[in-house]
Structures are given as C-alpha cells and as structure tokens.
Structure 1
C-alpha cells in the first residue's frame, strides 16, 4: 500500500474538517457536562453479561445470605399476610444461629395486632443488629423534606441523619418525604438506611444512590449503614468527594486496614457491582426452610455454618408483593439484589469506576488524530483500514477496561470517532470528486485517456502551480503555410488544417505526450508530464518521426483531392523546465516555460536553414536510448538571444532505417568534416565537406559550412572560438 501523501490542498481540507468535527464533538460533550449516555450503558450491559458468563465478574462474598419470603413461606404459616410474630421467629432463629446483622428490604409502616408487633419488636431488640429501612421519595432539584409527627421521625432526625466530610460541588438528590417504619419498630432498630431504588431512564437498575440529602444532612443507603457499623466508622468520618468517590477511612478505632473507596458521580450514584444474575447470586434460603431445618437437630450445625457471622438480607419475593426490576444481567430480578450486590462490593472492595469526561475526550482526540493522519495518505483504503482498526481497538479496549472494573463510554466515544471518520470520508469524497472533475476537464482534451485515468487515481502527480522537471518538448510548424492559406477558401482551409492537426494529435497522444497548445498550424507538445516518464526523449523523437511519416501519407491523399502539399518542421529539446497550471485564478493553462522550451521552438525554426525536417538538441541526443534512432550531427548554433552554443542533430529515422550507399557516404563525410572543423583542421574539413556536397548536391548544410570555412582566417581566430554560428532569426 502506498504511503504517499495527498496534495497540500487536500491535507489542509482534511485538517480543517477533522479539527472542526472534533471541536464540535468536544464542545457538545463539554456542554452536556458528562460523556455518559444510555447508549453507553446498553452496550456495557452486553459486556457485563459476557464478563459474568466467562467468570470475570465481581467476586462473591460468602458472608452474604439472602433470606427470602416466598409463596411457600405464606403456605408454611398458613396465612395470606405477613404476620410479624412469624417474622419474629425468623429473627430469633437468625440470632440463635449467630448472624452478624439482619437487613430488611421491607417497610413495616403501620401497626398490626399488638401481640405480633410486640413480639416482632422484642425479636429485633434481642438480636441487637437489625437494620430497618426507610423509603424516601426524592427529587433531582433542591426540595424541603416534609416532616411529620411520630417517634420514627424523631429518631430519623436525631439518630440517622448525619453530615459526612464533603469536597467538591455537591449535586445530590433531595429527599422530599418518607415512608417510615412503625414507631415501635423504629425505636428498636439498631440502625437504618434508605432502600430507595433508582433506575436509569431506560428502566434498568445500574446505579444506587449512596446517600440522599434531607434538608441540610444526609441519609445513607442501608448497605452503607450496615458496612459502616461493621467496620466501626461513623458516618461523620466518611469523606464524600462529589463526582469522584466516597472514602471510608481506615482508623485505629475501626476495623478497616486501608481506606475503602467507592466511586460515585456528581449526584452520589455508584454503579452496582452485580456478581451474577439472581439465580446464581449469593446463598439463599427461604424463611420457611430455615424454620423447618432448625427443628431438625441434625441440621442445626449446617445451619450455623450457613448463617453464622453472615450479613442476612431479608426480602419478600412472593408473587404479587415482590419489587422486581431489570438489571444489566437479566430481566425481572428482586430488588433486594441491588442492596446485596452493593454490600458485596464493600466486603470484597470491588467497584466499577467510570471514565471521566476529560479522559474520554483525550481518547477521542487520539483516535481522531490517528484517523486524520490516515486520511492524509493517498490511498483511501488506509482510512478505511484505520477506521476498522480503531473500531476493533475500541471494542477490545472496552473489554479490557471492563475486566479491570473500569467502565469506558464506548458508544459515545465510538460514535464521536465514527462522526469524525464519516466527516473525513465526506470531505475526501467531495474534495477528491472536485479534484477529479478538475483533472478530467483540464486534461481530457489533450491527454491520452490512460494518462487521464492515472491522474484521476493519483491526483498528487499533478502539482498545481508549477514544478521543476526534466522533460522533452516538441514544436512543429507547417512550412510556407501562410502563403498556402492565402490561396485557399476559408472553409477548405479549416477542413485541411483540422485533418492535419487531428492526425498529429493522435500521434502525440499515442506516444504518451500531451498537447500544450495549437497556434494556427503550429503544435506544441510535452513528454514527461503530467506523469513522469524515463523515456520522454525517445517518445518525443518517435512522435516527430511518425508525424513526418503520417504527413507523407496525407500528402498523397490530399494531392488526389487537388489540395496543396504540406510539409512540417519539428524541433525537440530536452531539459529542465517549469510545468504546471499557470495563469490567473479564473483563467489558467497547463503548460511549460523556461529556456529549454524556447530552445525547442528555435530548433523548429532552424530547420529552414538546413532544409531538415526533424532537429534535436544535444541534450535530447544524449537522452535517447543508444542505438534506437539514426541521427547525424548538424551544426553548433547560438539561437537568437542566447550566447551559449548548442550542438544540434538531425534525426533521420529509426535505427532500422536502410540508407542508400551514397547517403551513408554523405553522412560519414559530413560528420568527419564537422569534427575536423571543430578541431580547427580546416583543410581536411574543407575536403570532407566538398565530398559531402558532391554526394548530395545543393545540400544547404555542406554549402554553409564551406562558406564559413572560406571566411575564416585561422591565424586571427580568438582562443574561445567554438565554431558556432549565431542565428539571427527565430
């Protein structure tokens, strides 16, 4: 794959388009204040399921047990409602088995019968570590809490609300009203916390509100309360860095060996680290099974192993009463799983942290710059390949990050990168389309079709504005065309000229040259542009020979039609010249300029002096493939306006051209004479030129050389005499 870069104009457009789209995406994300969208969470749900299925999910603590109240439990007690005296039996059983703490996911808001309520309250007091939750309605805007009368509200205010240490700009959810526990139970509860569930806009429970603001103080989730009591850390010692983390500090008074850090967002939400779907998450036992097994002395030891030192969460999951919700791992799951999963995260120190806006933007910029660099490479496949590689990288990177419990916003970043990719692609398609249209319009009339196709595929080969290049340029002109045109009617003249120019153009294009311009009957053509070619001199000379051959054929046809005889002269030079589009912004022409171009034009005119048809310069002669053409030296000339002499040659034809014996002798005699002339051996030179003239009577070149020798005084020649002649006409 070619790594050649696109044109500077395209590179500028790529830079502007890429930077513009990237800046717009960055500003949009910054204005939102977060990089996270529901699309990110939905994609990460797929990663979550794959991670758990492959055993890469959060570890499960063996210290959590969920005791469930099911339809079988109601059947066991032979009741249609939950009798609190029956629950007292469950509390007593768990106290007897040594459960560390009991956390209810049930709110007992009203009194039932006095006996049952008293019995339940006694069981709470007897265990000593029963957590009864409070349900809070909340708002995302600051609201005052609606206080009511009752001992539950009094204890809520005095014992359960606290202020942690805060840093950063707080933007918590505000509690507006409460569903309290019955006063009797609230008084006996060891501690409390909220069980208010929060679902994302798509209805999936991915986050848990770690604390809610109640007027000027805060109330933690029940799992945070349980854990803080377990490690001996007061809520007032907890550090809340809004938008970053909750830090439960290690201390000499507590049981934590090192700080526990729970990542949160600016609203106090933490990602729930579900270790598995409901069926495979944590140890579970139905309340009725617990009581049944406890009656069997042979099973009591097993029950003690099952519950001793465990955190037991109790929830009602019976049909018609259970709170169910969607989690990232499954459809309907009992919401007690939310609290069990968060407590599990604290016990195992396993939490998900989310990439910040700044971090995501850095990745977005890195991927976009990579795409921009690939777009700068000429082959569009590089951009496609890079885009595919970026997509694969983001998918793999997200998986790697997820396995490290780092959540990467792959949908937002990937979508933004896709936007940059499509923007670059659209920019390239538009710019390349315009460039292709320009090239086709500019060259289709005077370039071979295959050259136009190559330029369309490789527009960087055409450097707009001009570049220096070694090329060969050809000039041709019809001899005596002015007098011929005066004798013809205009319509006939136009037809004749068009036929001539069409045939000559076909030859130039067939040899890979381009038509620079027509000036009346004159043709200017270049070889070696816009596509570089190593054999441009060969092609130019071959084109000149074929033009002469084709014109001889046309003369026969025209003679039969009574049309005048046309002869053309061709001059070719090879050298460094400037090639490119030149002119104004509105009107320009693809052409060549420079002394090398002017010399070719002068050589075309110099043919008249020597009665030759195809003259080339020494630089063209030395650029030809050896043995390809039959040539002969002609003279050393200084064209009008130039002081440097140029050796010129006549091209007779292809090397396979058979010459008559006299012609062979003529060329041999002329070359020997010219060599002697340049060496100032004028007597041998004169003799050789005379021999050449005898072989070709009336030869202008031999006559001219003899005349020059006769006019020379060898004794007065200056030291810098080079044997050249200055031409006074163009």
Structure 2
C-alpha cells in the first residue's frame, strides 16, 4: 500500500534534493573519482588475478635482470659497462624483438669501456635507451640545449598529434639523458616517468608527455609503435577517452588499437600478477652461464628470439622500487613491462565517466524513492540493501570486463540518498516513534525499543529462533543473609549490587531480561546480532565477580555483610521475542537453553565455583583469551543428554602463580585420565592437586565419583557423567 499524496510529494522532493546535493559536491571537487575508489579496486585486482580473470601475460615478454650476483661477479659497486657489453653481444646472437634498458647511462665512464659498450648497442640493433624528466602540471618552455642527445631527441618527437578533448598532459622538464655516445647507437627511446598516485601506489602511467609544445612517447609506447610499424605522429589522442594507434599500410596491425586514457594521457596499469609471477625472469649471470654451454645456445635462441626483453637492475640498494595495487616493494620496471604487455595483448581498463556515474546514481535514486513510497518499511530496506549489493556486484563485473567503476564514491553517494530518505521517513514518523518510546521504554530494554522504532511490526506477539548466550546469576545464601538484616539495609545492599552488575552486563553488550529477587537473567546476542556474544557473556561474568570482590571489601570496612555470587552461562538455540498475552507482553527468551543456563548457576554450589559455562559456550570463545578448565560431565534433571561443564577462572593476560598453574595442570590431567578409565592414575593426580589446594571441591568430587565406580561393571558407552538430582 502506498503512502498518502502529501508523503509521496515529500519523498520526491527529498530524493531530488539529495541527488542535486551530491552532484554539486562532485562538481565542486572536480571529479567523481577519489583515491579510496582505486584502493578498493586494488582489492578487486587481487581477486581477479586469483580467480584467473585478470589481464593475460604475453608470451613475448621476458625480464633480464641485473642482480646482486652480477655485482659480485664483476666485483664493483657501480654497474660495469664492459660486463653489459658482453651481455649485449650474447643478446645480439639470440635476436630478440627489442631490448629495453630501464637504466640511464648519463655519465661518462672509462673511454675504452664506453666505446665497447656503444659498439655492443649498435650490434644489438634493437636496444631502447630511456629518458627521464621532472614532470610538471603546467606548460613551460622546454630548454633545448646543444649536443647530439638533444638533437636526437628533437628528431624523435613530433610537433603535434591529431587530438580532441580537453588536454591536461604532464609537461617534461630537467631531463636526465643518456650519454651521447650510447644514445646515438640505440634504436629508440621514450620516457620512463612512472608517477605514483596520492597514496603512493603506482596505478597510472602516462603514455605520452609534452616537451614544450611537442609530444614525446613513453618507452613502452615507442617500442610497440616500432613493432607495429606505426609512426608516432599517426597516433590520435582523444583526451579523457582514448589514444588510438591506427592500422597503417605495411604495418603489423589488422585493426586500430584503442587504448583508454584519462585527461592526462594516463592508462590504468594492467598488472598481470605479482612480481614473482608476472613474466619469466632470467638473471644476466644465468644468461652468461647458460650461453657458455653450446648445448644450451639453441634453447636460449628459442627463448629470447622475437621477444621483448625488459633489462633492469634489481640489485639491493640500487633498483627503483614502489608499491603496486598487488604488493609493496616492487621494482618499477614492472610498470613498463605491464604497460607494454597491455599494448601487446590489447588489454587495458576503461573508466566510467562522471556523466555515466551521474546517470547511474539518478537511476538508483529513482529506485530508492519508489521503494520509499510503500508503507511497508521492509520493502525500502530490501531495495536499499539490494541496491548496495548490486553496486558491489556491478563494480566487480565491470572490473573483470576491463572497466573501472568508482564503487566507493558511488556507494557513498548511494548511502547519502538511502540514509537521507531514512531520516526523512523517521522524521515523518516521529509522533508514532514518540508513542512507542513512551509506552514501552519503561519495561522493554533500550535496544528493543530502538528496534521497535525501526520496525513497528515487531510489536506483534511472537518470537524468532535465534542462537544467543544466556547468563544467570544469584547471590549465595542470600535468603539466610536477608533474615539477619533490617529491610532498609537489605534494600540498600541489593540496590548497590544490582546497579553495578547491571552496568557491567550492559557495558559488555548484554541486555537485562529480568531481576529474580537477588538474581539476574541476561542475554547476549539479542535482539541485535553480536558475533562474539559468548565472549561478551563470559567477560561480563568475570567482571561481575571482580566488582563484587571490590564491593565486599568496601562493605567489610563498613561492618556490613559479605556476599558471594554464582553465575551459570550457556549458549544455544532459543526463542526470542515479544511473549505474553494481547494485553501484557514482554521481550524475553524461552527454551531448553534458558533452562540449562539456570541449572548451571545452581551447579556452582556442588563445586564451590563462581562461574560455570557449558561446552557449547566454551567452543565459541575466542582462543587464548580466557582461562578455562573442564569441571565435570553432568546430566541435569529433565535432560537426558550429558553436558560437559567448565569453570572459567580468569583471563589469560593476567599472570598466574606457579603453584596455581601446577594445580590446574594436575586437575586437567586427572580429568583426562578419569575419562580414559585410568582411575588409578586419575586418583593420584587429584590427590596431588589436593596437596596444593587442600579441601578442593572439584578434586574431592572426582575422587568421590571414582570411589563409587566399579571399573568392571562399567558399560562400554560409559561417558563419565554425573547425574544431578536437583534443578
């Protein structure tokens, strides 16, 4: 059923206003995209690779790496160009498609060695030597200096490119160039400026930059253009959309390559995997070793022949490293290799435009507004959370189909609309909410009142099956104590006790179900789901005992009576909800689990313990947080199945004396021996524990149980349980 016309009008106005507010925020910020969008996409990238849905690695790419072993081999702290000359000669005989050096040889070295290295580059014929720049956001004149390197650079860049759109390219300045002698022998060049994002992660890479008023390609782009036979000046740029490499006559491309770029000319780097698993890697030392074996030369030719070789220095303390979406401390040669792989495999990520995201948000806002028009709130929440899940599914599907969706920004905007409409709905229902709060807050827990405000349908009688932890506490011998105290003193003591215990239970996430005279019944894990409800209940029980000891100390100084508290805790399935009659009902719990928790509280009397929990509760506790020991296996009255019970005697973080540790160890070993029917061993261990704690009730109880047993008469299915004849 739809709401009234007045309310429908309010929803439409509120929905439209929220969307306009979000659009204004995005426009003022300049973009829908934010750093947190890419951080979420990083996780998508990881999962896509794990599921085999990431970019594929080209079989034409291989790393040739200068490692620490190479420096040890030529016994220098600086890169030995003579050593590299020998590597180049080997590569020239293996005939790779291209060899990209991720190294800039800017300074002059030994003249004879430099000439030797230059000749090896010329002999290789496929070497690419990069250039690095300082990148700036604004245009500035490029300082063309005299020299052959500048002359070669000047001849390799283009004055203009066919371009459309609003360009915001990076501008290069203060170049770090190759030595003239080497640059003259190289086949090509390109920039290697990998700029990290604001959070320090290398996700984007500029395919081209500007030097003054002229464009200059990146090293991966220039290598691919030479491979494809396409001159750089034929490249077409649509800023913010795509860089197109056309298929030219005589080239290798059958169809044009359309590469998505942003307004800065950057691609989203399509990493195929982590550094250890992206492309084959060969150390230069290993290459030389294998090439020295004539039987291996044919295999090397097959391996390197026709491949793109990315040659870089990854030795410690020398290589440039950075963080990628997949891992930290990665040699940055991986950026250039991944971009080149994307060009070879024609696999890059497109990105949703701001306009597309605007349209998506508008559609979702209409969906939410339509759902808010129904009187049943569950429809709105169903649609709302469905839309939220849909955004996540859309982002994942888009990523695995090479499209980037700003899932975090879109989700935040969606939540603004969702929450905004919720607030509007709540304001409109404020009178009804005030009635509920006034009528029920006096006898229903606050958490339940809040849930009723969110969903008034819960006021109907009935309950739901839930798993929760129930705590019962009771003061030992309080009836006898109360007979010796004047009523005003008794009421004051009881009020102080219940106030402090209630505070502890609520602070640990529990709700007070009811007070049973001096006893308390509390639940953890309802009405709101709490994953660690068993932990919360046990932590509350220990805090209650600690607080009572503190209160007893104060009461003793005042000459007042001392009291002890017993607590039983059990976790299980129960019925929770509004139970009672049409006229009077209460939010409470019922079921066998509740009864067992109450029984466990009374079982403390038998073992002189303070806190007893069931096996189910113990199994849900976070490991290594609480000190727990097995106490017994009991059959309580009214239940046929035995229940293993445990005593909780502290927190692991609190130190324990060596004597106490020995006591608990001996008891647990004795208990295990008892269950294994090793009664003589068990008796010895329990007697040893009694030497540490004379009169210890659990140990005496176990000895008493064994004294009543005749091992020869025990049935095969004996489980060691003790039947209790009291409730």
Match of 2:396 among 396, 399, 410: 399
TM-superposed CA distance for 1:382, in Å, is 1.7
Aligned equivalents of 2:312 and 2:157: distance in 1? Answer: 22
Q: TM-score, normalised by structure 1?
A: 0.59
Partner of 1:51: 48
| Cα pair distance change 1:301/1:439, threshold 3 Å | closer
- For residues 443-492 of structure 1, what are the alpha-carbon distances to aligned partners after superposition, in whole Å with 9 as ceiling and x for unaligned? xxxxxxxxxx99x969xxxxxxxxxxxxxxxxxxxxxxxxxxxxxxxxxx
Partner of 2:345: 348
TM-superposed CA distance for 1:34, in Å, is 2.2
Partner of 1:601: none
Unmatched runs of 5 consecutive residues or more in structure 1: 442-452, 459-730
TM-superposed CA distance for 1:161, in Å, is 4.3
TM-superposed CA distance for 1:376, in Å, is 1.1
- For residues 513-550 of structure 1, what are the alpha-carbon distances to aligned partners after superposition, in whole Å with 9 as ceiling and x for unaligned? xxxxxxxxxxxxxxxxxxxxxxxxxxxxxxxxxxxxxx
TM-superposed CA distance for 1:379, in Å, is 1.6
- For residues 550-575 of structure 1, what are the alpha-carbon distances to aligned partners after superposition, in whole Å with 9 as ceiling and x for unaligned? xxxxxxxxxxxxxxxxxxxxxxxxxx
Contact 1:10 1:428 in 2 (8 A): no
Aligned equivalents of 2:69 and 2:8: distance in 1? Answer: 73
Partner of 1:575: none
**What SS is found at the alignment partner of 2:383?**
helix
Partner of 1:257: 254
Partner of 2:268: 271
- The structure with the largest alpha-carbon Rg is 1
Map 1:367-386 → 2, pairs under 5 A: 367-386=364-383
Aligned equivalents of 1:134 and 1:307: distance in 2? Answer: 25
Match of 1:339 among 324, 336, 341: 336
Aligned equivalents of 1:364 and 1:400: distance in 2? Answer: 18
Corresponding position: 1:308 with 2:316: no
Match of 1:137 among 134, 139, 145: 134
Contact 2:97 2:308 in 1 (8 A): yes
- For residues 297-356 of structure 1, what are the alpha-carbon distances to aligned partners after superposition, in whole Å with 9 as ceiling and x for unaligned? 111121111100000011101000010010011111100000000100011111111011
Contact 1:162 1:219 in 2 (8 A): no
- For residues 585-614 of structure 1, what are the alpha-carbon distances to aligned partners after superposition, in whole Å with 9 as ceiling and x for unaligned? xxxxxxxxxxxxxxxxxxxxxxxxxxxxxx
Aligned equivalents of 1:435 and 1:49: distance in 2? Answer: 48
TM-superposed CA distance for 1:438, in Å, is 9.7
Partner of 2:178: 181
Aligned equivalents of 1:213 and 1:440: distance in 2? Answer: 66
Q: Runs of at least 4 residues of structure 1 off by over 4 A?
A: 434-441
Corresponding position: 1:205 with 2:163: no
| Cα pair distance change 1:96/1:162, threshold 3 Å | farther
Aligned equivalents of 1:146 and 1:418: distance in 2? Answer: 51
Range with greater deviation from structure 2 (404-413 or 75-84): 75-84
Contact 2:56 2:345 in 1 (8 A): yes
| Cα pair distance change 1:298/1:420, threshold 3 Å | same
- For residues 34-55 of structure 1, what are the alpha-carbon distances to aligned partners after superposition, in whole Å with 9 as ceiling and x for unaligned? 2211011001101000000111
TM-superposed CA distance for 1:129, in Å, is 1.5
**What SS is found at the alignment partner of 1:190?**
coil
Aligned equivalents of 1:423 and 1:142: distance in 2? Answer: 44
Aligned equivalents of 1:291 and 1:36: distance in 2? Answer: 48
**What SS is found at the alignment partner of 1:270?**
strand
Aligned equivalents of 1:188 and 1:424: distance in 2? Answer: 68
Map 1:287-326 → 2, pairs under 5 A: 287-326=284-323
Aligned equivalents of 1:184 and 1:163: distance in 2? Answer: 28
Contact 2:364 2:387 in 1 (8 A): yes
Q: TM-score, normalised by structure 2?
A: 0.59
TM-superposed CA distance for 1:254, in Å, is 1.2
- Size of the aligned set, in residue pairs, is 443
Partner of 1:415: 412
Contact 2:207 2:266 in 1 (8 A): yes
Contact 2:122 2:186 in 1 (8 A): yes
**What SS is found at the alignment partner of 2:138?**
coil
Aligned equivalents of 2:414 and 2:309: distance in 1? Answer: 47
Aligned equivalents of 1:435 and 1:105: distance in 2? Answer: 70
Unmatched runs of 5 consecutive residues or more in structure 2: 439-451, 458-727
Partner of 2:547: none
Contact 1:147 1:177 in 2 (8 A): no
Aligned equivalents of 2:66 and 2:196: distance in 1? Answer: 24
Aligned equivalents of 1:297 and 1:438: distance in 2? Answer: 92
